């Protein structure tokens, strides 16, 4: 019976401590040592001010090994109404990003030089009135006679398709797969530059 009473009292004490911890009570180590230095306002609890110089220190305030200095713990008064005031720095203003162009700028724009199986392919476009009016081949595979022969027929077809489509979304010319893929990539780079100018 006596053990049951002790266990019941221990459980009640533990519950009280748990409830008080959840209610926002903090340990003395969480509180500032000097309310004036921490910017606290309000009354200082009695017994928390150190004694005048030369007087005896209150019992239990001198930790061992600190050379005789006294340590006091004070509690800062909570803000009125329990609310805390927070301030934030003003947000820096940034310039609005420039909206992307919806049409190509007039002018001549070079595409990237793209390496394909038999050499490089590079084109440039001429834009007038926001439309591609010409595609010029600046470089194409020409090291082998077969490449020259293929490109004689493939490059005019690719130019015609690009002018018709007004984009790099064009068909690959049969028998000129490598040249067609390089042409499309270089053409797309030129179109991108025309929109970004």
pTM: 0.51
Mean pLDDT of 138-147: 94
pLDDT given at position 38: 47
Long-range contacts of 142-151 (CB under 8 A, 24+ apart): 143/118, 143/119, 144/118, 147/118, 147/119, 147/179, 150/175, 150/176, 150/179, 151/176, 151/179
In the chain, where are the structural domains located? Answer: 107-196
Range among 7-16, 58-67, 98-107 rated most confident: 98-107
The Cα–Cα gap between 104 and 153 comes to 28
Comparing C-alpha atoms, which of 188, 171, 50, 173 is closest to residue 124?
Answer: 188
Range among 50-54, 72-76, 84-88, 163-167 rated most confident: 163-167
Res. 114: pLDDT tops 50 = yes
Tokens of 69: 């200095």
Backbone angles phi, psi at 184, to 5 degrees: -65, -40
pLDDT given at position 151: 95
Q: Give the model confidence (pLDDT) of 144-162 as tens digits.
A: 999 999 999 999 999 999 9
Tokens of 192: 């991108």
Largest separation between any pair of C-alpha atoms in the chain: 110
Res. 167: pLDDT tops 90 = yes
Half-sphere exposure of 53 (CA within 13 A, CB side): 0
pLDDT given at position 161: 97
Res. 55: pLDDT tops 70 = no
Residue-averaged pLDDT of the chain: 77
Task: Please identify, in words, the CATH class of the domain defined by 107-196.
Answer: alpha beta
- Between the CA of residue 131 and those of 31, 124, 137, 158, 171, what are the distances in Å? 72, 13, 18, 17, 20
């Amino acid at each position: 019976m006596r053990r049951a009473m002790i266990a019941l009292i221990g459980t009640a004490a533990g519950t009280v401590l748990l409830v008080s911890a959840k209610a926002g009570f903090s340990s003395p180590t969480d509180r500032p040592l000097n309310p004036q230095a921490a910017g606290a306002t309000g009354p200082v609890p009695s017994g928390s001010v150190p004694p005048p110089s030369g007087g005896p220190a209150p019992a239990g305030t001198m930790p061992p090994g600190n050379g005789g200095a006294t340590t006091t713990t004070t509690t800062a008064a909570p803000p009125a109404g329990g609310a805390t005031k927070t301030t934030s720095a003003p947000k820096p203003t940034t310039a609005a990003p420039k909206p992307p162009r919806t049409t190509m700028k007039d002018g001549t724009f070079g595409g990237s030089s793209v390496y394909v199986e038999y050499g490089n392919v590079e084109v440039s476009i001429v834009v007038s009135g926001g439309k591609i009016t010409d595609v010029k081949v600046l470089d194409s595979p020409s090291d082998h006679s077969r490449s020259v022969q293929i490109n004689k027929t493939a490059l005019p077809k690719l130019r015609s398709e690009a002018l018709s489509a007004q984009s790099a979304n064009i068909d690959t010319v049969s028998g000129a797969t490598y040249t067609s893929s390089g042409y499309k990539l270089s053409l797309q780079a030129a179109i991108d530059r025309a929109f970004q100018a």
